Amino acid sequence: MFTSPQECRTIRELLAGYALNSLAPEEAAQVCAHLTTCPACRDEYDCLAAVSAHLPLLREALAHDIKRRQQRYVPAPAESCHPSRQQLRRRRPTRAILGTPLTVTQLLSRMRASGEPGERAARNAPAPRATADGAEGRATPQSLRPVVTPWPSAG
């Protein structure tokens, strides 16, 4: 019996579902009727049916492989993120020893930068300046004249 190419295309789209027994009853009946008359579609169905018969074996193999991989890559139990009291006690002297030179160094550098109390007072006092007539002393408002410089011309 002769079947049209359009009918074969329609049935071939349904063959995988038919091989997996997932078609609606009316579609399954349509595919079954076509397979009795079309040897090309029947050959394709036989191949798909063989594959679908092996799917349960494939599922088992994949499930076994996944379990094996998970067992292989399961990390060892992690140690606690927080150190124990005993570990902290061991570290305290080390931290104290390492921190002491830094603290002493900071103290010395601050003392050196600030100087002795008498030196600080002398440093904060205004320094004597030379006046316009050459005498030393404090700057007077008359000696502080603004210097006006001309703006350079563009050009």
Q: How far is CA 34 from CA 10, 16, 40, 46, 48, in A?
A: 10, 14, 10, 14, 16
- Of 29-38, 55-64, 77-86, 133-142, which gets the smallest average pLDDT? 133-142
This prediction has a pTM of: 0.39
- For the stretch 17-67, pLDDT in tens is 999 889 999 999 999 999 999 999 999 999 988 888 888 887 788 887 777
Residue 51 lies in a domain: yes
Residue 150 lies in a domain: no
What are residue 129's DSSP bridge partners? 137
The parent domain of residue 61 ranges over 5-72
pLDDT of residue 53: 83
Residue 25 lies in a domain: yes
Quote the number of domains for the chain.
1
Q: How far is CA 81 from CA 61, 77, 114, 139, 142, in A?
A: 38, 12, 44, 67, 72
Residue 103 lies in a domain: no
Question: Which has more confidence, 104 or 66?
Answer: 66
